[in-house]
Amino acid sequence: MKTNSAKFSLYNVMCYALAFIVSISFSLYMTEFGYSSILLATMLSIMSGMLLVIRFLIPRIINTARCHLVLKISTLVTILGSAVFFFLPGTSWVKPFVYTLFAIGGYQFQMCLTDPWVMKNMENDPGMDYGKVRSFGSISYAVTAVVYGWALTRFGIGIAFWCTAVLEIIQLIITLSIPDERARISADKTRVSWKSILQKPLFITFVLCYLFPTSIYALLDNYMPVLILERGGTSFHAGLSSFVMASLEFIFLNFYTRFADRLGTRNTVALGMVGFFFKAVIISLMPTPTAIIAACVTQIISFCIFMPSNVRFIQETSTPEEATSAYTLLQVIDSLFSAVVTNPVAGALKEGLGTGWMLSIFGILSAVSGVVFWILTRNEESLKRKG
């Protein structure tokens, strides 16, 4: 493994460990403190709004070599936001708001840098295998989920701040060793590429079909712990479910490139979209925490196929100069859709129909998106770079 690949693998290890502790466990924290699902949905909408702004800034942060500066600031605000949430007495709405704005907001900068920063470095290191680099994040997430889930059950929520603070500092030390160089293209050329990207019908088709699959992906992450608690489970069961899914990711992502080479990018994208339908519906039907954990095997046909296919699709349908901007543009549109549509609708459906039905409805929309994408792109003989 080349030096930068190793460093990015370690970055993924720390970032995905923090993903479970800082972001994914937020719904558990809110439930344990007794906050309402409406307030949780509101905080999730704020998170999506922040992602919209952050993802818009990411290309400029990378192209102007400010990754290290942003990581220093984000580490500080994440730790401070966590301290307010866990140490300030009472159950005022201010606590989850500050946590969302600072702790999760700071962490979002760190997570949003992962894929675009890797894509930038792949220009100088074309031998870097994205699937393998990403797989280290999955195994980290898996181990963190089961260990942290057990620790929360055993020691209580009081350990959350200390776990966040220690891992944030370790992550910062690792990421400061990654090269943070100015992009070889000018900022003006980066801005022009946004217009050219939006003029590609294939990209527009992909974006429109991408929105519901990525919605159910996020909703499953945020609401599966809630579903497990509703059906008699504990934080340990929630952690174990994440461990199963992330372990499957670690195994499969190492073989993803060979799988996608054989099946084709178009087919893997569509298959992953439909896979989220099966995952959402099957998990929603499970009556016990143990059954939900067993149903997490559907991660193979959903996340493991769909998520790396997004990066592959962008790389194959964009020039090297456009790739980072195209990926970021996709994420910006996704964040806007989540803030305006996904989270408000999901909150309303959960209150009216329950968590299971809400997830199933979004799963059905994901399947429809996959079929539509496959039909609309059937005339594409291959996905090649377009200059």
Q: Would you say residue 386 lies in a domain?
A: no
- pLDDT tens for residues 245-274? 878 888 888 788 788 888 888 899 999 999
Q: Please check whether residue 381 lies inside any domain of the structure.
A: no
Split into its structural domains, the chain has a count of 1
Give the CA-trace dihedral at 121, 124, 130, 135, to 10 degrees: -70
Cα separation, 47 vs 52, whole angstroms: 9
**Separation between Cα atoms, residue 159 and residue 92, nearest integer Å:** 21
Mean pLDDT for back-to-back runs of 10 residues, the chain (387 residues): 70 88 85 82 82 80 85 94 90 90 92 79 66 77 81 86 94 85 51 67 90 91 85 82 82 82 89 95 93 92 89 80 77 82 86 90 95 86 44
d(CA 182, CA 180): 7
- CB 160, CB 86: distance < 8 Å: yes
The reply to whether 118 falls in a domain is yes
Q: For 293-344, what is each residue's pLDDT tens digit?
A: 999 999 999 988 998 888 888 878 877 667 777 887 887 888 788 878 888 8
Domain span holding position 174: 3-376
Structural domain contains residue 176: yes
Residue 91 belongs to some domain of the structure: yes
pTM above 0.85, yes or no: no
CATH for 47: 1.20.1250.20
In a domain, 346, yes or no: yes
224 found inside a domain = yes
Asked, for residue 385, whether it belongs to a domain, the answer is no
Phi–psi pair at 128, nearest 5 degrees? -70, 125
